[in-house]
Amino acid sequence: MFKYIKYIYEIYENQSFSKAAKKLYISQPALSSIIKKAEDELQLPIFDRSTNPISLTEAGEYYITAAKEIIEIENKIKHKFKELRTSIEDSFSIGGSTFFCTHVLPNLVDAFTDLYSNYSIKVIEANADELSKCLKSDIVDLIIDVEMLDLNIFNSIKWASENIILAVPSQFHINKKLQEYKFSFEQIKTGEYLKEKYKSVNLKYFKDEPFIFLKNGNDMYSRGLRMCKKANYSPNIIMYMDQLLTSYYVSKLGNGISFIRDTITKYEDPTDKLVFYKIDDIEATRNIMLYYKKNIKLSEVTKKFISFITNNIL
C-alpha cells in the first residue's frame, strides 16, 4: 500500500490534484487513477474531495503520519549509505546560479583547494527552483543563493549582502532627464555610488520604459514587481530571462532596463552601453545565503569550506 506514498504525499503537500500532477510530471487523470487504486486497497478514502482546497480524511491523516515516518527512515538510510560510500570525506558539491558559478565560486574553490590540496569540490549550476531541489535530494551538499528557502528543511548562514541597481541602455531618452541620478560603470564597481552625497532615483521615472525581468520564481522577479508597485505602476515587461547575467547582457544590447546586482561590475568588462541608477527602496538590498539540509552530519570538508567562505566575503 505504501508504493503510492510519493503520489499521495505530493497531493497532501499541494492540496491539489492538478498541482501535484504537474510536480510529478504525470497527467491529472493518471494521478487520480493511482489514488483510486490506493484507496481501493485501503478500502477507505484518503482525501475528502468535497472541500476546497482538498483535505485529508481520518484515514488519510493516519496514512500521512505513517508516510512521514517512512520518508524520514528512507532519508536516514540514504544518508547513511552516502556516508559509507564516501569512507574518506574528501569531496563535496556546491550549487549556485550562473553568476556565482561563472564569477564567484571558481576563485573561491581554487583558493580553498590551494589551501587544502587533499579536498575536491564540484560546482553545479542551476536556476533558483532547481537549486533547492538539488539540495533537498542530496545532489549537492551546499548552495549559495539569494532566495528565501524553507527553514524547516534547511539551515542558513548569511554570507554577504548586495545592492540591487538599475541598468538602463545608454541610448534611452530617459537618461537625459535624470542626469543628476546617473552613475558610470566605474562608480558602481568602486562602490563610490553608495556614498550618501549621491542621490537614489525613484522608480516612478521609469513607468513608461520597457523592462527585462527574471522569470517568476526568482527573488529578483518578486522584488522588482514590489518595488515598481510602490512607485504606483506595473512594469512594462518585454522579456523574461532565466538568469540575471542574461538580462544584463540583453540590456547592454539596448533592449530594455534590468534590475541587476551591483557586484556584476566587479567581474564584467567596463561598458558605456549602460547607465546605472541607485534605487530609492529598502528592497534594493538583499542577503546572499549559504544553505544546507537540516538533520544531517556535515562532512569535514563541507565544514571547512563554510568556514573558509564566511571569512572571504564577496
Please tell me the predicted confidence (pLDDT) of residue 118: 83
Please tell me the predicted confidence (pLDDT) of residue 313: 67
Assign a CATH topology to domain 88-160+287-311.
Answer: D-Maltodextrin-Binding Protein; domain 2 (3.40.190)
pLDDT in tens, 243-272: 899 999 999 999 999 999 999 999 999 999
Superfamily of domain 161-285: Periplasmic binding protein-like II (3.40.190.10)
pLDDT lower than 50: segments of the chain: 87-88
CA distances from 38 to 5, 13, 17, 212 (A): 9, 17, 15, 46
Residue type at 37 in one-letter notation: K
Measured on CA atoms in the order 295, 297, 303, 305, is the torsion positive or negative? negative
- How far apart (Å, rounded) are the C-alpha atoms in residues 105 and 288? 13
Q: What's the CATH number of domain 2-85, 3.20.20.140, 3.30.465.10, 3.30.420.40, 1.10.10.10?
A: 1.10.10.10
Domain borders along the chain are: 2-85, 88-160+287-311, 161-285
pLDDT in tens, 187-203: 999 999 999 999 999 99
Q: Which conformational region is residue 15 in: left (phi greater than 0), alpha (psi within -120 to 50 degrees), or beta?
A: left
Kindly give the pairing relationship between strand 274-278 and strand 91-96. Answer: unpaired
Please tell me the predicted confidence (pLDDT) of residue 277: 98
Q: Do domains 2-85 and 161-285 have the same CATH topology?
A: no
Please tell me the predicted confidence (pLDDT) of residue 87: 46
Please tell me the predicted confidence (pLDDT) of residue 83: 66
Name the burial class of residue 228, with classes exposed (0-12), middle (13-18) and buried (19+) by CB atoms within 10 angstroms of its CB: buried
